[in-house]
């Protein structure tokens, strides 16, 4: 085929036109890109350059492999195809442009390289099918919260156009369709030009549209946080653009507006109190506004609204699902820090924080009440302040103070005791570990609690910390720097069960389902230990549709448990979850491993009228029942043997 | 002890207070033990009828002046102090009500004599006064030896029983005192609370909510029970301070005094300021998660459990009974 | 406009109070002190007036356990000066404390005269008097207590305040300044200040330490014995599940013709 740039149009050589168009486009693109990057650069520093090999691998898997898109396999496959086609097309475009602008270069056009065009053609055909599927999903199935923007429709049309022009051009080149040589040449040239102009136009348009995500998201994935916990770096909070970090601002550019975060968010499901997608979108508008010089000078908190900022449960379902690795939770925490700094907290949270500051617990009770749950145990729990122990048990506030949870804590203590575990507690010296305080944005109070806890731990001798509270588990492990020394009690129970120190006598619970706590599952990565315990007890475990990393939050996290119920409509998360459990065939027990889950779900049973249909039990209670059943069984056997012996005499 | 026992009769907006009856009872007992007279100081305007009704007292020192219809603590304390300087009573009894609060603080300051606050019993031992007071929100009881006087005693409500009616009329003495007021403190007007549709003092059944119901959302449960019982919801001070209920629903010292047939106290700790507003209820049922809450010492039935849970279950049980 | 706020610490009744071995005082072992709740409202009221009128707020307190936290918190909230007067025992009676303040305050530069003096109008340890009436009488200021709303007109030198009576009825008073107001409540609950700001205030120092001046001696009340109150009666406690308890109560109500 002749060189398409050798053509003239209205007497102007094609090369010149190409140069002109390219120059205009690149100036437009460059200027806009520069302004956007400068706006992002106004944000605070944040180091995301550690562990380069892990980061690169993440890009390979999550960008190259589009892993998170496969939460729905059909969607994943279609997007993977379109993505790789786009990559090939991008290479093809750059190559063609280079050759087109510099005709003296001794390289062929990509269209003339069979090794390249064959995969291009195959991908293009596959893409047509993928595009049809994508359009069907977007316009016929209409998934909720999928932003139906002009941009979204445009990109589908554009890719179709590019694919069609490429395929038609290739067909012309191959002499298909029974065209004369001259007609085929004209067709090929026309297709080439339409294709190039379309891409050039797209490049100019890209930094004004959601398609920014094409360029931004790989970098977003590369710089994603490798730490667990969604905490921003130390700060006094953020409301204005300059107060956020560059990476927090960059989230806005990477968003592809897919809506996965909204669909997963419990706060969104509860009367749309918070939309993670809108939050990211507001960040984007702030950055782009600053880039345009129009705007972006105000407070993001005012735009998002304090109610939405407080609505987040920090469950991390959004971040778990986001295919471009956007980080919603740090934005929320930054804004909460700002609100706390202004003293703009609701009465419930304020009362809790003041009681926490003074008494070291969220119940506003005297620290002397903390160990009172140990009465009526029938044995002394070791005081880790006075004698060395193997396991230091950080009990946690709800497990210690709430009468409903104290029963479970006692069950756990009896299990530990019966299994001859060497454990002790810090009695009055234990303070709230500070996880939720931190998520509420009260860094100063968190530091104070952490210092007091560290001092208490210094004075004790222990090998491992065990906790029955996932919030405590997470913060001790990842934010006190004790990783490696902290276990959740299900991990300890798992060891006991596999060592045969807990019997597998059936205990009447039969079919059960298990709820993964947010701070144990998504935050802690602990999914299997509790399941092994349940299986070790001989229970038949049935999974809920939303299980493991897709588990649905009970709604208590992020300090929500101390806030007024603002449910404006929609279903409270705990109610939705117990309905989900009750919907499983033959399942009468929902098993939890977190004190707040216990409280939230038992309350939800009442408000949904499911009391009597479903029960909520903690793993410790089931283990204790199993141990008791063994004792009873052993006792009954002994009695029977004794009776037989007596009757023989 | 030489001096007499005095009470300062309390009235407000033209009506004599119940507290005055209690003071007269306590004062009468004290005066009899000491062998001295009981005299009532009455500062008011056009209240001769009231003066005549202060029967258990032997005499009434009546100061009549227009400005005394709504005397400030400053004016009242100056007047009573002037009288007391002249006549040297041994003991002056005052109620711990809001109306007399300023007078209670200013009078001993002006006279330079001690005050013993939060009194709930007074007895005479060897000619000296021994007072029992409740301190620290009712958590500690102390005995104070107040000596022969002079002393001002702040009497908690419920300390004296109402005296038997039919006491002879006291001798009413008109006295004059200097009432010049240069304090710069002036009552402009009374502000009524926003009228609600419900007068809790007229209800047979009240469901009272306190801090222990945790959140405004749980009010619904209390309202449901009140509805089932054909009564109304009221609250203790913290609940009104939070804005969960309007002022007209407040029971206690700064609120209303109620005497319903049934009073269910849910999540109410039983602080003295609340108790004084409901202690005469016929049947008191208290629900609180704190087994040591003071409310349990005045309630007839007590449950240590979550208030919301119990109220909900009770509403159901009541409705079932009613059919 | 100058505002003076007086704050004090009282025993914290969240902790269980015990009687000491001598049978007439509190056992110090688990005794903790907390700021008098009404004083917190007085501080909040003063800060609201500062926000609105640009007044300066000086906080004065007698030395007591944990008083520094209270003063630093007040500074973090926006108070301009914090003064700690030492030499008076925290368990001394209110008359003695008021007398110490009356003797000391005139000698601290810049404190008196103030346009408005605020303090909580009651506290749980006020056995022998109230700070407001005692101190105001001593320094010659008019006093009005149970105040829960204050609006000041600095130009006219007056304040319009709401005083609590009973049944939710309030009295609107006009008060010529300078005056001493005893605070019962405030239009807003005490503001929240983040711990980071309190720590910054602690780091900045800022509490002025002043020894109490000696004044006329105050005879304390002769407290004979202290004991936990013996309740005249006690409720009949109902045990069991919520359902059972509800049934029993329904029985009681039915028996009395209430349902």
Residues of B in contact with A606 (CB under 8 A): 312
Instruction: Tell me, yes or no, if A611 comes closer than 8 A to chain B by beta carbon.
Output: no
Say if A363 falls within a structural domain. yes
d(CA A647, CA A102): 108
Say if A217 falls within a structural domain. no
Say if A222 falls within a structural domain. no
Q: Which CATH number fits the domain that encloses residue B113?
A: 3.40.50.620
Residue B222 and residue B125 share a domain = no
Give the pLDDT of residue A633.
62
- Spell out the domains of chain C, with CATH numbers in brackets: 2-211 (3.40.50.620)
When pLDDT is cut at 50, 70 and 90, the band that residue B28 belongs to is very high
Give the pLDDT of residue A636.
64
pLDDT tens figures, A89-107: 999 999 999 999 998 889 8
pLDDT tens figures, A586-632: 999 999 999 999 999 998 998 888 988 999 999 999 998 888 766 66
Instruction: Tell me, yes or no, if A347 comes closer than 8 A to chain B by beta carbon.
Output: yes
Residues of A in contact with C196 (CB under 8 A): 236, 341, 443-444
Number of structural domains (chain A) is 3
pLDDT at position A504 over 80:
no
Residue A367 and residue A268 share a domain = no
**Residue that finishes a domain, picked among A321, A341, A361:** A341
User: What is the spatial order of strands in the sheet that A486-488 belongs to?
Assistant: A382-383, A423-425, A391-394, A464-467, A486-488
Which chain A residue has the Cα nearest residue B242? Answer: A347
Residue A326 and residue A300 share a domain = yes
| C-beta atoms of A343 and C30 within 8 A | no
Say if A214 falls within a structural domain. no
When pLDDT is cut at 50, 70 and 90, the band that residue A508 belongs to is low
Residue A83 and residue A32 share a domain = yes
* DSSP string covering A8-23: EETTEEHHHHHHHHHH
Residue A400 and residue A318 share a domain = no
CA torsion, points A587, A592, A597, A603, in degrees to nearest 10?
Answer: 40
| C-beta atoms of B215 and A565 within 8 A | yes
- How many contacts, defined by CB atoms under 8 Å, are there between A and B? 11
Of the candidates A341, A353, A366, which has its C-beta nearest C14's C-beta?
A: A366
Residue A155 and residue A91 share a domain = yes
C 11-70: CB under 8 A from B: 11, 13, 16-17, 19, 24, 26
Residue A457 and residue A328 share a domain = no
Residue B303 and residue B156 share a domain = no
Which chain C residue has the Cα nearest residue A343? Answer: C192
Residue A293 and residue A357 share a domain = no
Which chain C residue has the Cα nearest residue B309? Answer: C242
pLDDT at position A648 over 60:
no
Structure tokens at B112: 């330079």
Q: Report which of B108, B119, B149 is spatially closest to residue C95, judged by C-alpha positions.
A: B108
d(CA C93, CA C32): 17
Q: Which of the residue ranges A267-271, A630-634, B300-304, B311-315 would you say has the lowest mean pLDDT?
A: A630-634
Q: From the CA atom positions of chain C, what is the Rg in Å? A: 22
Residue B116 and residue B207 share a domain = no
Q: How far is B258 from chain A (nearest CA, A)?
A: 29
Q: Report which of C234, C215, C238, C228 is spatially closest to residue C97, judged by C-alpha positions.
A: C215
Q: What proportion of chain A, given as a percentage, has pLDDT over 70?
A: 95
Residues of A in contact with B216 (CB under 8 A): 564
Residue B205 and residue B65 share a domain = no
Q: Which CATH number fits the domain that encloses residue B268?
A: 3.40.50.1220
* Count of residues making up chain B: 323
Residue A191 and residue A308 share a domain = no
**Residue that finishes a domain, picked among A278, A306, A341:** A341
| C-beta atoms of C235 and B187 within 8 A | no
| C-beta atoms of B302 and C235 within 8 A | yes
Touching subunits of A (3+ CB pairs, under 8 Å) are B, C
* DSSP string covering C161-208: EEEE-STT-EEEEEEESSEEEEES--SSPPPP--HHHHHHHHHH--EE
| C-beta atoms of A565 and B242 within 8 A | no
pLDDT at position B6 over 90:
yes
Q: How far is C22 from chain B (nearest CA, A)?
A: 13
| C-beta atoms of B242 and A347 within 8 A | yes
Q: What mean pLDDT is reported for chain B?
A: 90
Say if B192 falls within a structural domain. no
- Domain coverage including residue A14: 4-41+72-142+150-209
Residue B63 and residue B21 share a domain = yes
Residue B107 and residue B22 share a domain = yes
| C-beta atoms of C146 and B144 within 8 A | no
Residue B228 and residue B128 share a domain = no
- Domain coverage including residue B76: 5-174
| C-beta atoms of C145 and B114 within 8 A | no
| C-beta atoms of B215 and A606 within 8 A | no
Residue B248 and residue B106 share a domain = no
Say if B183 falls within a structural domain. no
Residues of C in contact with A340 (CB under 8 A): 192, 194
| C-beta atoms of B114 and C179 within 8 A | no
pLDDT at position B3 over 70:
yes
> C17-45 as b/e, with b when 16 or more CB fall inside 10 Å?
bebeeeeeebeeeebbbbbbebbbbbbbb
Pairing of strands A540-541, A511-514: parallel
pLDDT at position A649 over 50:
no
When pLDDT is cut at 50, 70 and 90, the band that residue A635 belongs to is low
Q: How far is B10 from chain C (nearest CA, A)?
A: 13
Say if B191 falls within a structural domain. no
Task: Answer with the residue of higher pLDDT: C158 or C166.
Answer: C158
Residues of B in contact with A564 (CB under 8 A): 215-217
What are the start-end ranges of the E strands in A450-577? 464-467, 486-488, 511-514, 540-541
Q: Which of the residue ranges B157-166, B192-201, B246-255 would you say has the lowest mean pLDDT?
A: B157-166
Residue A516 and residue A476 share a domain = yes
Tell me which residue has tokens 């009078």.
B107
What are the start-end ranges of the E strands in A416-526? 423-425, 464-467, 486-488, 511-514
Say if A638 falls within a structural domain. no
* Count of residues making up chain C: 259
Mean pLDDT (whole number) for C200-224: 93
Residue A452 and residue A367 share a domain = yes
d(CA C19, CA C174): 45
Say if B78 falls within a structural domain. yes
Q: How far is B98 from chain A (nearest CA, A)?
A: 27
Residue A378 and residue A282 share a domain = no
Based on the number of CB atoms within 10 Å of its own CB, is C74 exposed (0-12), middle (13-18) or buried (19 or more)? buried
Cβ neighbours of residue A90 closer than 8 Å, sequence gap 6 or more: none
Mutation test of the interface with chain B: which of C117, C152, C177, C253, choosing the one with the most B Cβ atoms within 10 A?
C253
Task: Give the count of beta carbons closer than 10 Å to the beta carbon of residue A440.
Answer: 27
Instruction: Tell me, yes or no, if A342 comes closer than 8 A to chain B by beta carbon.
Output: no
d(CA B38, CA B29): 9
Residue B216 and residue B159 share a domain = no
Say if A389 falls within a structural domain. yes
Say if B280 falls within a structural domain. yes
| ipTM, interface predicted TM-score of the complex | 0.92
Q: Which CATH number fits the domain that encloses residue A277?
A: 1.10.1060.10
Say if A587 falls within a structural domain. yes
Q: What mean pLDDT is reported for chain A?
A: 91
SS3 content of chain A, % helix, strand, coil (to 5): 60, 5, 35
Mean pLDDT (whole number) for C45-65: 97
When pLDDT is cut at 50, 70 and 90, the band that residue A112 belongs to is confident
Residue B159 and residue B239 share a domain = no
Say if A50 falls within a structural domain. no
Residue B116 and residue B22 share a domain = yes
Cβ neighbours of residue B251 closer than 8 Å, sequence gap 6 or more: B200, B206, B208, B234, B235, B236, B257, B258, B274, B277, B278
Residues of B in contact with C26 (CB under 8 A): 140
The model's pTM: 0.91
Which chain B residue has the Cα nearest residue A567? Answer: B217
Residue A573 and residue A476 share a domain = yes
Query: A12 has which bridge partners?
Result: A9
Of the candidates B216, B306, B312, which has its C-beta nearest A564's C-beta?
A: B216
Number of structural domains (chain B) is 2
Instruction: Tell me, yes or no, if A638 comes closer than 8 A to chain B by beta carbon.
Output: no
Of the candidates A403, A404, A565, which has its C-beta nearest B217's C-beta?
A: A565
Which chain C residue has the Cα nearest residue B199? Answer: C167
C 235-254: CB under 8 A from B: 235-238, 242-243, 245-247, 249-250, 252-254
When pLDDT is cut at 50, 70 and 90, the band that residue A645 belongs to is low
Residue B29 and residue B138 share a domain = yes
Which chain B residue has the Cα nearest residue C11? Answer: B136
Residues of A in contact with B215 (CB under 8 A): 348, 564-565
Say if B46 falls within a structural domain. yes
The answer to whether residues B229 and B287 touch, using CB atoms and an 8 Å cutoff, is: no
Give the pLDDT of residue B1.
47
Q: Which of the residue ranges A231-245, A504-518, C139-153 would you say has the lowest mean pLDDT?
A: A504-518
Give the pLDDT of residue A631.
63
| C-beta atoms of B256 and C166 within 8 A | yes
Q: Which of the residue ranges A195-209, A479-493, B156-170, C138-152 would you say has the lowest mean pLDDT?
A: B156-170
| C-beta atoms of C252 and B301 within 8 A | yes
Instruction: Tell me, yes or no, if A564 comes closer than 8 A to chain B by beta carbon.
Output: yes
Instruction: Tell me, yes or no, if C198 comes closer than 8 A to chain A by beta carbon.
Output: yes
d(CA A313, CA C186): 32
Say if B194 falls within a structural domain. no
Residues of B in contact with C162 (CB under 8 A): 191
Which chain A residue has the Cα nearest residue B241? Answer: A347
**Residue that finishes a domain, picked among A320, A341, A362:** A341
Instruction: Tell me, yes or no, if B290 comes closer than 8 A to chain A by beta carbon.
Output: no
Say if B195 falls within a structural domain. no
Handedness of CA A445, A451, A455, A460 (dihedral sign): positive
Cβ neighbours of residue A387 closer than 8 Å, sequence gap 6 or more: A424
The answer to whether residues C86 and C101 touch, using CB atoms and an 8 Å cutoff, is: no
Q: How far is B250 from chain A (nearest CA, A)?
A: 20
Tell me which residue has tokens 């507290």.
B19
| C-beta atoms of A364 and C14 within 8 A | yes
């Amino acid at each position: 085929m002749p060189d398409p740039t050798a053509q003239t149009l209205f007497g102007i050589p094609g090369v010149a036109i190409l140069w002109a168009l390219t120059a205009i486009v690149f100036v437009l693109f460059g200027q806009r890109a520069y302004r956007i990057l400068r706006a992002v650069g106004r944000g605070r520093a944040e180091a995301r350059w550690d562990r380069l090999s892990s980061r690169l691998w993440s890009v390979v898997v999550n960008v190259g492999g589009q892993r998170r898109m496969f939460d729905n396999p059909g969607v994943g496959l279609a997007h993977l195809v379109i993505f790789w086609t786009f990559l090939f097309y991008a290479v093809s475009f750059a190559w063609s442009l280079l050759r087109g602008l510099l005709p003296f270069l001794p390289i062929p056009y990509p269209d003339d390289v069979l090794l390249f065009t064959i995969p291009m053609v195959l991908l293009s055909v596959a893409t047509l099918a993928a595009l049809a599927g994508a359009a069907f999903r977007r316009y016929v199935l209409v998934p909720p919260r999928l932003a139906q923007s002009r941009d979204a429709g445009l990109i589908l049309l554009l890719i179709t156009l590019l694919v069609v022009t490429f395929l038609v051009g290739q067909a012309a080149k191959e002499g298909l369709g029974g065209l004369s040589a001259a007609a085929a040449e004209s067709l090929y040239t026309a297709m080439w030009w339409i294709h190039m102009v379309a891409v050039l136009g797209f490049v100019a348009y890209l930094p004004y549209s959601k398609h920014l995500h094409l360029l931004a998201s790989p970098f977003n994935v590369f710089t994603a946080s490798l730490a667990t916990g969604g905490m921003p770096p130390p700060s006094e909070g953020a409301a204005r653009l300059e107060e956020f970090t560059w990476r927090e601002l960059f989230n806005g550019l990477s968003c592809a507006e897919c809506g996965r975060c909204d669909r997963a968010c419990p706060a969104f499901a509860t009367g749309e109190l918070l939309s993670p997608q809108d939050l990211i979108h507001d960040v984007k508008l702030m950055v782009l506004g600053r880039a345009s010089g129009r705007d972006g000078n105000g407070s993001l908190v005012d735009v998002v609204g304090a109610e939405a900022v407080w609505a987040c449960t920090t469950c991390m379902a959004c971040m778990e699902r986001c295919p471009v690795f956007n980080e919603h939770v740090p934005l929320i925490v930054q804004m909460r820090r700002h609100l706390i700094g202004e003293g703009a907290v609701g009465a419930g949270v304020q009362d809790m924080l003041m009681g926490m500051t003074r008494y070291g617990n969220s119940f506003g009770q005297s620290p002397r009440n903390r160990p009172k749950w140990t009465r009526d145990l029938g044995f002394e729990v070791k005081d880790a302040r006075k004698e060395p122990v193997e396991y230091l048990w950080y009990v946690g506030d709800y497990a210690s103070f709430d009468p409903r949870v104290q029963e479970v804590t006692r069950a756990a203590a009896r299990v530990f005791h019966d299994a001859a575990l060497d454990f002790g507690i810090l009695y009055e010296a234990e303070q709230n570990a500070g996880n939720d305080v931190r998520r509420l944005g009260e860094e100063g109070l968190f530091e104070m609690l952490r210092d007091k806890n560290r001092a208490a731990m210094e004075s004790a001798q222990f090998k491992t910390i065990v906790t029955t509270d996932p919030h405590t588990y997470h913060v001790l492990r990842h934010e006190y720097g004790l990783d490696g020394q902290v276990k959740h009690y299900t991990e300890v129970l798992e060891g006991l069960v596999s060592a045969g120190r807990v019997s597998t006598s059936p205990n009447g619970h039969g079919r059960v389902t298990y709820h993964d706590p947010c701070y144990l599952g998504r935050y802690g990565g602990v999914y299997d230990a509790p399941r092994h315990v349940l299986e070790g007890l001989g229970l038949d475990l049935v999974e809920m549709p939303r299980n493991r990393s897709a588990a649905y939050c009970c709604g208590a996290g992020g300090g929500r448990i101390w806030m007024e119920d603002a449910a404006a409509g929609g279903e409270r998360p705990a109610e939705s979850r117990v309905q989900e459990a009750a919907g499983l065939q033959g399942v009468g027990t929902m098993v939890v491993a977190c004190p707040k889950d216990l409280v939230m779900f038992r309350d939800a049973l009442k408000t949904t009228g499911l009391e009597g249909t479903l029960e909520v039990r903690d793993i410790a209670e089931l283990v204790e029942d199993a141990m008791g059943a063994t004792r009873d069984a052993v006792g009954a056997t002994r009695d029977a043997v004794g009776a037989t012996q007596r009757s023989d005499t | 002890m030489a001096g007499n026992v005095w009470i300062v009769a309390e009235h407000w907006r033209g009506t004599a207070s119940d507290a005055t009856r209690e003071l007269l009872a306590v004062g009468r007992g004290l005066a009899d033990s000491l062998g001295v007279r009981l005299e009532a100081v009455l500062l008011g305007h056009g209240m001769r009828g009231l003066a005549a009704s202060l029967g258990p007292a032997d005499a009434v020192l009546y100061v009549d002046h227009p400005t005394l219809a709504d005397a400030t603590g400053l004016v009242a304390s100056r007047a009573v102090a002037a009288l007391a300087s002249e006549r040297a009573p041994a003991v002056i009894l005052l109620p711990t009500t809001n109306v007399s609060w300023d007078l209670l603080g200013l009078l001993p300051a002006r006279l330079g004599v001690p005050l013993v606050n939060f009194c709930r019993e007074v007895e005479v031992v060897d000619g000296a006064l021994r007072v029992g007071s409740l301190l620290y929100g009712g958590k500690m009881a102390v005995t104070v030896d107040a000596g022969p006087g002079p002393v001002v005693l702040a009497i908690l409500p419920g300390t004296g029983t109402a005296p038997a009616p039919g006491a002879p009329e006291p001798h009413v003495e008109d006295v004059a005192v200097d009432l010049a007021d240069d304090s710069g403190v002036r009552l402009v007007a009374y502000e009524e609370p926003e009228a609600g549709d419900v007068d809790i003092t007229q209800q047979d059944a009240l469901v009272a909510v306190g801090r222990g119901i945790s959140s405004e959302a749980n009010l619904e449960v209390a309202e449901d029970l009140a509805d089932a019982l054909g009564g109304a919801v009221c609250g203790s001070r913290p609940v009104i301070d939070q804005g969960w209920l309007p002022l007209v629903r407040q029971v206690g010292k700064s609120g209303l005094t109620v005497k319903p047939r049934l009073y269910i106290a849910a999540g109410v700790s039983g602080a003295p300021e609340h108790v004084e507003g409901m202690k005469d209820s016929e049947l008191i049922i208290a629900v609180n998660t704190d087994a040591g809450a003071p409310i349990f010492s005045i309630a007839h039935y007590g449950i240590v459990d979550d208030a919301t849970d119990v109220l909900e279950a009770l509403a159901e049980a009541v409705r079932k009974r009613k059919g | 406009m100058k505002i003076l706020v007086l704050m004090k610490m009282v025993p914290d009744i969240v902790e269980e109070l015990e009687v000491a071995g001598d049978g007439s005082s509190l056992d110090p072992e688990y005794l903790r002190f907390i700021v008098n709740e009404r004083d917190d409202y007085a501080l909040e009221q003063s800060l609201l007036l500062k926000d609105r009128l640009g007044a300066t707020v000086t906080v004065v307190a007698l030395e007591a356990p944990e008083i520094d936290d209270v003063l630093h918190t007040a500074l973090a909230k926006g108070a301009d000066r914090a003064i700690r007067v030492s030499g008076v025992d925290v368990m001394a009676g209110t008359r003695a404390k008021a007398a110490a303040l009356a003797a000391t305050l005139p000698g601290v530069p810049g404190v008196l005269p103030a346009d408005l003096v605020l303090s909580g109008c009651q506290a749980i340890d006020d056995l022998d008097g109230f700070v407001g009436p005692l101190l105001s009488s001593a320094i010659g200021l008019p006093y009005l207590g149970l105040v829960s709303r204050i609006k000041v007109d600095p130009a006219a030198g007056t304040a319009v305040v709401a005083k609590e009576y009973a049944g939710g009825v309030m009295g609107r008073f006009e008060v010529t300044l300078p005056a001493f107001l005893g605070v019962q409540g405030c239009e807003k609950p005490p503001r929240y200040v983040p711990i980071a700001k309190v720590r910054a205030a602690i780091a900045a120092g800022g509490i002025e330490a002043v020894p109490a001046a000696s004044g006329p001696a105050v005879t304390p009340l002769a407290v004979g014995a202290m004991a936990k109150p013996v309740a005249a009666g006690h409720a009949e406690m109902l045990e069991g599940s919520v359902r059972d308890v509800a049934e029993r109560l329904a029985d009681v109500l039915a028996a009395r013709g209430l349902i």
